[in-house]
Structure 1
Amino acid sequence: MVKAVVAGASGGIGQPLSLLLKASPLIDELALYDVVNTPGVAADLSHISTPAAVTGFLPADNGLEKAFTGTDIFVIPAGIPRKPGMTRDDLFKINAGIVQGLVEGIAKFAPKAYILIISNPVNSTVPIAAEVLKRAGVFNPQKLFGVTTLDIVRAETFVAGITGEKDPAKTTIPVIGGHSGETIVPLFSQTNPKVEIPADQLDKLVNRVQFGGDEVVKAKDGAGSATLSMAYAGFRFAEKVLKAVRGEKGIVEPSFVYLPGVSGGDAIQKITGLEFFSVPIELGPNGAEKAIDVVSSANDYEKKLLEACYTGLKGNISKGIEFVLNPPPK
């Protein structure tokens, strides 16, 4: 029996993500948790003729405890989008607080679960989760993942637009670093099968992968962000984790992890100077079985991108850790 929880299930990412998880044959029980509307979303999904039983919980009546207890895997898209007049710092404080509260609940009611964090900014929210779990004495680095799959999905799609490949997912492209702007580094030199990107298109392609979210915001005329593609990416990563846990071999997908706690991570930490970093991760029954070093093989063009990435990530990671160690005044 596999129980999955979507925390933030009523939002723009949460609803389509919950739909995809309800359709998965790998899940027996799906619990939805959010501060509004979850009973309605759960009722709607429960009419779909797939095996997963769906329940919806609100904070009232110990809803968090009821939703979280006995969970095997959490997928967390919870948070709010930036509203007019709100600074990035305002947004960070709110979303950081939301993630901290949810992970405190996980530490208490489902400490052995796999935790997949989508909530932005991932570069900071994953370190926040790690600090919360450390404080509770239940931190297992092999089970904490920052979902960066949308960057990989975009890279696959945009490269297929150049190569003409009918199925974009057939091209493996390592996208490493973090999950915002210049911290996102696609390693097109290491695509499998090999892809030659025309030199005059490379800068534009890298920029599009790094700032693809802006493209969506603009197309939605400021009325929304990348919710559907993010829901798909979150589901894709969750499905890979669940398949690996069931014993399927050879599953590799980049993810933002705590390097010192994953086999092979120490070597990557030495190169990057960072404790948290996204690299291809070999998934298995224990979660993150091995971090694969693709950083050493980066070409000169990619090394320049990585320098900017390291600088940005260092600040993002520190900000997340600082939020837990020295909470801002409320």
Structure 2
Amino acid sequence: MVKAIVAGASGGIGQPLSLLLKASPLITELSLYDVVNTPGVAADLSHISSPAKVTGWLPKDDGMEKAFTGGDIFVIPAGIPRKPGMTRDDLFKINAGIVQGLVEGIAKYAPKAYILIISNPVNSTVPIAAEVLKRAGVFDPKKLFGVTTLDVVRAETFVAEITGEKDPAKLNIPVIGGHSGETIVPLFSQAKPQVQIPSDKLDALVNRVQFGGDEVVKAKDGLGSATLSMAYAGFRFAEKLLKAVNGDQNIIEPSFVYLPGVPGGEAIAKTTGVDFFSVPIHLGPNGVEKAIDVVSSANDHEKKLLEACYTGLQGNVSKGIEFVQNPPPK
């Protein structure tokens, strides 16, 4: 029996994410929560012939308590989307407060659940979640994940376009660091199977992985952001985690985690100088079984990218922690 909760289920990411989760045979109960429209989304999904029973909740009438209680895995895409010219950092004040409120609810009603955070800016919202959970005395670093899978999916897709690989998912490309701009560092040198990126295409490829979200915003004429691809990425990570929890021992996927709190993470934190960082994670029944050090194997080109990543991440993480410790005036 697995109860999955989508917090922010009525939005551009939340609806397709909920659809994918409803189709998964690994989920027996799907609870949808948002500030608008969730009963309708739930009713629509409930007609699909898959095992998961779907319910939809609004904040009124103790909706959060009813939606969250007994939850095993939470996926959180809640927040406002990026608009043209808006950086992930611009989203910070609004989305930070939304994530803080949701995680306070999880700490109260489902303190042992796995928490997957999609809400941007991930580099700051995951530290916010960690601070909230610490304050509630229920922080388990092995169960808190920032979903950076979209960066991995983009790297697979864009490299396949260059190499001619017909199935991009067969590529395994570590993408590490954070989840915005220059904090995203693809390690093409560690791709499996190995890939050869022409030197005259490397910089443009790195830039496309780092700023792929802007490509989507522009293509949608500023009327939307990367919602469908993000929903797929969020589902892919959630499904891999659920498979690992069910006993599959061979699942590795990058995720943005609190390094000092997970096996293998302490050494990576010392190397990077950052406590929150995305690296390939060996997933298991307890969540993070081990963080895998791919940082020390980066080549010279990637090390230069990592230096910029560390600087950007340190500021992002500090901003998240500061938001909880010294809340801005309302």
TM-score bin, normalised by smaller chain: over 0.9
Q: Distance in 2 between matches of 1:157 and 1:84?
A: 24
Equivalent residue, structure 2, for 1:215: 215
Does residue 166 in structure 1 map to residue 166 in structure 2? Answer: yes
Equivalent residue, structure 2, for 1:244: 244
Alignment of 1:49-198 (within 5 A): 49-82=49-82, 91-198=91-198
Q: How many residues align?
A: 330
Q: What is the CA-CA distance between 1:91 and the residue it aligns to?
A: 2.6
| Cα offsets for 1:179-232 (capped at 9, x unmatched) | 000000000000000001000000000000000000000000000000000000
Residues 156 and 82 (structure 1 numbering): CA distance in 2 closer, same or farther, change over 3 Å? closer
What runs of 5+ residues in structure 2 fail to find an aligned partner? none
What runs of 5+ residues in structure 1 fail to find an aligned partner? none
| Cα offsets for 1:247-305 (capped at 9, x unmatched) | 00110000000000110001100100010000000000000110000000000000000
Equivalent residue, structure 2, for 1:13: 13
Q: What is the CA-CA distance between 1:81 and the residue it aligns to?
A: 1.9
Q: Distance in 1 between matches of 2:148 and 2:264?
A: 19
Equivalent residue, structure 1, for 2:254: 254
| Cα offsets for 1:3-47 (capped at 9, x unmatched) | 000000000000000000000000000000000000000000000
Residues 321 and 243 (structure 1 numbering): CA distance in 2 closer, same or farther, change over 3 Å? same
Equivalent residue, structure 2, for 1:40: 40
2:13–2:228 Cα contact (<8 Å) kept: yes
- Other structure's SS at 2:253 match: strand
Q: Distance in 2 between matches of 1:80 and 1:161?
A: 31
Q: Distance in 2 between matches of 1:298 and 1:86?
A: 31
Does residue 31 in structure 1 map to residue 67 in structure 2? Answer: no
- Other structure's SS at 1:296 match: helix
Q: What is the CA-CA distance between 1:90 and the residue it aligns to?
A: 5.7
Q: Distance in 2 between matches of 1:210 and 1:256?
A: 15
Q: Distance in 2 between matches of 1:86 and 1:270?
A: 32
Q: Distance in 1 between matches of 2:294 and 2:156?
A: 17
1:252 alignment partner AA: I
Q: When the two structures are superposed, what TM-score results if normalisation uses the length of structure 2?
A: 0.98
Q: Distance in 2 between matches of 1:284 and 1:208?
A: 32
Kindly report the root-mean-square deviation, in angstroms, between the aligned alpha carbons of the 2 structures.
1.2
1:80 alignment partner AA: I
- Other structure's SS at 2:115 match: strand
Give aligned-pair identity as a percent: 87
1:236 alignment partner AA: R
| Cα offsets for 1:55-112 (capped at 9, x unmatched) | 0000000000000000000000000124589886663111000000000000000000
Equivalent residue, structure 2, for 1:229: 229
Does residue 314 in structure 1 map to residue 314 in structure 2? Answer: yes
Residues 204 and 27 (structure 1 numbering): CA distance in 2 closer, same or farther, change over 3 Å? same
Residues 85 and 220 (structure 1 numbering): CA distance in 2 closer, same or farther, change over 3 Å? closer
Residues 162 and 86 (structure 1 numbering): CA distance in 2 closer, same or farther, change over 3 Å? closer
Equivalent residue, structure 2, for 1:264: 264
Residues 301 and 320 (structure 1 numbering): CA distance in 2 closer, same or farther, change over 3 Å? same
Q: Distance in 2 between matches of 1:22 and 1:204?
A: 37
Residues 215 and 90 (structure 1 numbering): CA distance in 2 closer, same or farther, change over 3 Å? closer
